[in-house]
Amino acid sequence: MLTRAVPGADARGARLGRVPARPGRATLPRGASMTRRTVTAGLALVVLAGSAVGTPASAAPVVPDVPDAQTRALGAADRVAATALGAGPDEVYRRGLVTPWVDGLHSVAYERTYRGLPVVGGDATVLTDGNGSVRASAKASGVTVRIGTAPAVTGEAAEATARRELARVDAVESRSLVVKLTGDTPKLAWQTVLGGATAEGESHLTVWVDAVTGTVLDRHDDVEHGTGTSQWNGPSPLAITTSQSGGRYLLKDTTRPGLQCADYSTGQVFSKTTDTWGTGNATSKETGCVDVMWAAQKEFDMLKNWLGRNGHTGSGGSWPARVGYNTTNAYWNGSSVTIGRNSAGQWIGAMDVVGHEYGHGLDQFTPGGANGEAGLGEGTGDIFGALTEAYANEPAPYDTPGDYLVGEKVNLTGNGPIRNMYNPSLVNNHPNCYSASIPSTEVHAAAGPLNHWFYLLAEGSNPGGGKPVSPTCDSSSVTGIGIQAAGKVFYGGMLLKTSGMTYKRYRTATLTAAKNLDATCNLYNRTKAAWNAVSVPAQTADPTCTAFARGSTVDSIGAVDSIGAVDVLGGASAQAAPNVDVAKVQAHLTQFNALATQNGGNRRAGSAGYTASVAYLKGKLQAAGFTVAEQTCTSCNYRSNNLIADWPGGDTSQTVMFGAHLDSVSAGPGINDNASGSAVLLENALQLAAANPAMAKHVRFAWWTDEESGLLGSRFYVNSLTSAQRTAIKAYYNFDMVGSRNAGYFINNISTAVSAPMKAYWDSLGLAPEENVEGAGRSDDYSFKNAGIPSSGYATGASARKTSAQAAKWGGTAGAAYDACYHSSCDTTANINATALDRTADGVAHTIWAQAVSSGGGTTCTPAELVVNGGFESGTTPWTLSTGVRDSSTSQAPRTGTWKAWLNGSGSANTESAAQTVTIPAGCTGAVLTYWAHVDTAETGTRVYDRLTVTVGGTSVATLSNVDAAAGFTQRTVPVGQFAGQTVALKFTGVEDASLQTSFVLDDISLRSA
């Protein structure tokens, strides 16, 4: 990106002041001279992470702003949460964790609130697919909350009670009022989170104290204490991923953000001047950290490559570890792993121990958290340890796969392994079979039935090949499905967890997962046989499996009764965009770094390093089937070539371009600036070629030269186009610096229609991206924008500094530059944030598919505005409006022009609407509804009294309420491509109760086909 700053446009519109709301609720009659009160507020409707789904009959499910398969998945889940989960009066389900899985499946978790208070133990999970079909739902409790919310016990008194649960309190992290479900009995409680220690060791404890009686209702410790082995992995030397900073190497893996290993005593990440680690002696903490890094990296890769999870966190990240805890133990504390020693003083960083402890993290960071029945947490850890061993596939004498023993390589107490998965009773007579006594059994012993089930599912009761025979509790013979498939089934069950998980619920959850993974029912039948073989009985909520019809019914788990058929979004669905493997993008970065190193240390335009970079791209693209051309920039400061690659197919009169500058500054290899954008585009091009979908529009990729001298390469290209060629380019997307270490998430021209699919994807990740103010006019999109071509793009920041608010939203370091190595020699492969890179790469794929890939049948779509008179400036035609809705008064100003639609605002019970009929042509599955809304209310608090519902063809697609009030207009964007090929009524309906006013003011309504 250019160093030159270009001033941005002035902010549009003045912020209105807020008039204090009148206390209490009183009727405000509609007057003759002023029919609506002026209590200024505005709109802030969250429709992605954290979105609320109301419970009244008139409440509409919220459809997230993602014009792709994830839209349909989340929209279907929201409809279930709004209707079928059955929340009571004053209860709301708010969408939380969204976990994409295999085959387009999405696990969507919901947290319940009651009168604004979190309901602990009232969560739910819905499994949907990219077609908008609901596959299953789970609900932790079916009880309806009806209690008072005024505490009799003060928060300070409850905190004092909670502190007595620990031997030592180091910090009180939070205290809040909640509703706690204990045995399906709702009670008002104070929830206090403490850091400190018990008599056994470190603790991260949550305590719930009854807010009426002051007694302790429940407690949960995030610290999961385990034991394990201390063996070396091998064969040596192990190839572990490290990083470099300031001339020193660190045991910190920037490709798996968050993964690092530190000395327990000092808290310092291990560092040295060489990249050779460990002594081969397990009493060395550094050696222990080598073992931890190796095992954690293998587990991370196993999760991605075997189970379809994006790393440990599910969003591309991992967690830190410490080695040197001077106790025969290892544990997970809710945010990190700590490794202790065995009786011989060896640090126990073995594959199964590390996999087990990180498995506790996976349990916590999947729906429902880690607070289930005794044994489930420890069994989960053991299963992930076994999966990691199998994936690493180390040779003897190291931690070889297939033994299904835990701690077999070290003798902590002289009794061999600490757990046995194929026959748990061989270790301390741990139970093989489930019984009513399991919930009260010590947690490590209680893992026996779950470990036994997993072995039977993976290997069977008599697998042969030297693997041990496993007895069954019902004397049956069980056939295994292989450990990878068993891992997928178990992880699928985890994605349907709710709080208070039990063995019986896990049976139902894994059967549901197996059914959704395999339409032949083979996985389902074998999963069922394995549960029967460990005596976990059939449940009424268990799904059946015959010939599975996708999207036909909802399976229910736990406390939910059968829900029955659920409508799904109509219309043809486009082929899903691929999940771009960030490791492949990083491999391109490594190549660009090597080309710079081999050619004078940089890839400046006109240099040998630049020419080699062009050749690398060209070879990859030609091999993939692109039509590739080099264009010599004769007006550039450094004469060199742009590279243009066209993918065959699609309407060339509707071309969508994706570009990035390929050159670096002379100071260094330019890996973030801008090999990152170049590599993201290259891998997306290769993924497009590999998928070879039917194209509705033509896609062209471009890599520009001499951007660093002033956007010269892209300017030369745009100036070389004829008028017809410029007109054919319907959108240009630019990617410049998309892997910044201290990443922000910015979009060029964020409020424009062309940016909608990019914004929608990042919104779906909960990123809440911002306008790219720093980059305005400083990269190649500016060349296209100046030519009148709609443009947008992603960026993660350059030399500007991250604000405190941004650090709170995105993580990272407030006050530090987004890229501390901007235009410097340190801009190498070590200067890349893999998470930001991954998010960009996937966002590009979603944009390509949303903008250019056909939805099927070869039907194309001509972009057009479908709403007439969206600003209400040309009278009422063709709108159908309630009396007085079209308004030009100054008490509620329009966004633009003189007129707007003003619904409600009288403070009396009334319903008003604005509607018009639109036809969305067939093939326009990327159609997007955009409207500007301002919500102004005299209501207070978080309870919904007044509501605006947006419907298309009678289907609710968005809602606003008095709770969404804020100053000024806010643009809202809703995908409506599911209605392609239909003539539908677009309608905005406001419903106001008989008390304080809420005004819903609408302007500049647009529905564009795409």
DSSP state string for 778-798: SSTHHHHHHTT--EEEEE--S
State residue 882's pLDDT score: 95
339, 294 Cβ separation under 8 angstroms: no
321-325 and 259-263 beta bridge pairing: parallel
State residue 510's pLDDT score: 97
In the predicted model, is pLDDT for residue 236 greater than 50? yes
In the predicted model, is pLDDT for residue 17 greater than 50? no
The DSSP 8-state label assigned to residue 801 in this structure reads: B
Residue 855: pLDDT band (50, 70, 90) is low
Least trusted range by pLDDT, from 119-133, 215-229, 265-279, 876-890: 215-229
Q: Which residue has the tokens 């005593």?
A: 265
Residue 77: pLDDT band (50, 70, 90) is confident
Dihedral, 349, 353, 357, 358 alpha carbons, nearest 10? 80
State residue 652's pLDDT score: 84
* Mean pLDDT of the 504-526 span: 92
* Mean pLDDT of the 862-886 span: 91
> CA nearest 777: which of 736, 806, 745, 810?
736
Residue 963: pLDDT band (50, 70, 90) is confident
* Mean pLDDT of the 568-581 span: 52
Whole-number Å distance between alpha carbons of 803 and 805: 5
886-887 and 900-904 beta bridge pairing: antiparallel
> CA nearest 881: which of 909, 903, 913?
913
State residue 743's pLDDT score: 95
113, 178 Cβ separation under 8 angstroms: no
In the predicted model, is pLDDT for residue 726 greater than 90? yes
- CATH 2.60.120.260 residue window(s) in the chain: 1-68+859-1010
State residue 983's pLDDT score: 85
> CA nearest 370: which of 131, 489, 508, 206?
206
In the predicted model, is pLDDT for residue 566 greater than 80? no
In the predicted model, is pLDDT for residue 959 greater than 50? yes
Terminal alpha carbon distance of the chain: 31
State residue 860's pLDDT score: 56
State residue 68's pLDDT score: 67
* Mean pLDDT of the 208-214 span: 94
517, 128 Cβ separation under 8 angstroms: no
Alpha carbon distances (Å) from 165 to 162, 182, 196, 657 = 6, 19, 10, 61
pLDDT digits (tens, 9 = 90+) for 263-306: 999 999 999 999 898 888 888 999 999 999 999 999 999 999 99
Identify which has the larger pLDDT, 407 or 999: 999
State residue 16's pLDDT score: 26
Mean pLDDT, the chain, whole residue set: 84
CB within 8 Å of 590: residues ≥ 6 apart: 829
Total count of residues recorded for the chain: 1010
Residue 54: pLDDT band (50, 70, 90) is very low
State residue 1010's pLDDT score: 66
- CATH 3.10.170.10 residue window(s) in the chain: 226-486
In the predicted model, is pLDDT for residue 173 greater than 60? yes
- Strands in 640-647's sheet, in edge-to-edge order, are 627-633, 640-647, 697-704, 651-661, 729-735, 791-795, 746-748, 770-771
* Mean pLDDT of the 843-852 span: 92
List the Cα angle 365/368/372 in 5-degree steps.
105
In the predicted model, is pLDDT for residue 342 greater than 90? no
pLDDT digits (tens, 9 = 90+) for 370-383: 888 999 999 999 99
Least trusted range by pLDDT, from 43-52, 146-155, 642-651, 999-1008: 43-52
Whole-number Å distance between alpha carbons of 586 and 832: 9
In the predicted model, is pLDDT for residue 9 greater than 70? no
Distance of CA 985 to the CA centre of its chain: 33
Cis amide linkage into residue 89, ω under 30° from 0: no
State residue 464's pLDDT score: 85
Q: If DSSP states are collapsed to H, E and C, what string results for 849-903? A: HHHHECCCCCCCCCCEECCCCCCCCCCCCCCEECCCCEECCCCCCCCCCCCEEEE
State residue 187's pLDDT score: 94
Residue 52: pLDDT band (50, 70, 90) is very low
pLDDT digits (tens, 9 = 90+) for 123-139: 999 999 888 888 888 88
State residue 23's pLDDT score: 28
pLDDT digits (tens, 9 = 90+) for 611-626: 999 999 999 998 888 8
In the predicted model, is pLDDT for residue 56 greater than 80? no
Q: Specify whether domain 155-223 bears CATH 3.10.450.40.
A: yes
In the predicted model, is pLDDT for residue 1002 greater than 90? yes
State residue 2's pLDDT score: 55
Alpha carbon distances (Å) from 135 to 68, 105, 368 = 18, 9, 18
Least trusted range by pLDDT, from 74-83, 177-186, 772-781, 899-908: 74-83
Q: What percent of the chain has pLDDT over 70?
A: 87
Whole-number Å distance between alpha carbons of 815 and 802: 5
Residue 1: pLDDT band (50, 70, 90) is low
State residue 60's pLDDT score: 35
Residue 395: pLDDT band (50, 70, 90) is confident
pLDDT digits (tens, 9 = 90+) for 422-445: 999 999 999 999 999 999 999 999
Report residue 894 as tokens. Answer: 């329009």
Least trusted range by pLDDT, from 88-92, 266-270, 783-787, 897-901: 88-92
In the predicted model, is pLDDT for residue 34 greater than 60? no
* Mean pLDDT of the 48-56 span: 34
The CATH superfamily holding the domain 582-852 is Zn peptidases (3.40.630.10)
Whole-number Å distance between alpha carbons of 422 and 430: 12
In the predicted model, is pLDDT for residue 853 greater than 60? yes
In the predicted model, is pLDDT for residue 742 greater than 90? yes
Report residue 95 as tokens. Answer: 């969408």
State residue 13's pLDDT score: 28
Q: Specify whether domain 1-68+859-1010 bears CATH 2.60.120.260.
A: yes
CB within 8 Å of 89: residues ≥ 6 apart: 55, 144, 146
**Which residues are known to be catalytic?**
357, 444
* Mean pLDDT of the 85-100 span: 83
CATH number of 226-486: 3.10.170.10
Whole-number Å distance between alpha carbons of 785 and 756: 17
SS3 at position 912: strand
**Highest mean predicted confidence (pLDDT) among 645-649, 851-855, 995-999:** 995-999
- CATH 3.40.630.10 residue window(s) in the chain: 582-852
Whole-number Å distance between alpha carbons of 577 and 108: 19
Whole-number Å distance between alpha carbons of 583 and 577: 18
Q: Which residue has the tokens 């410490």?
A: 322
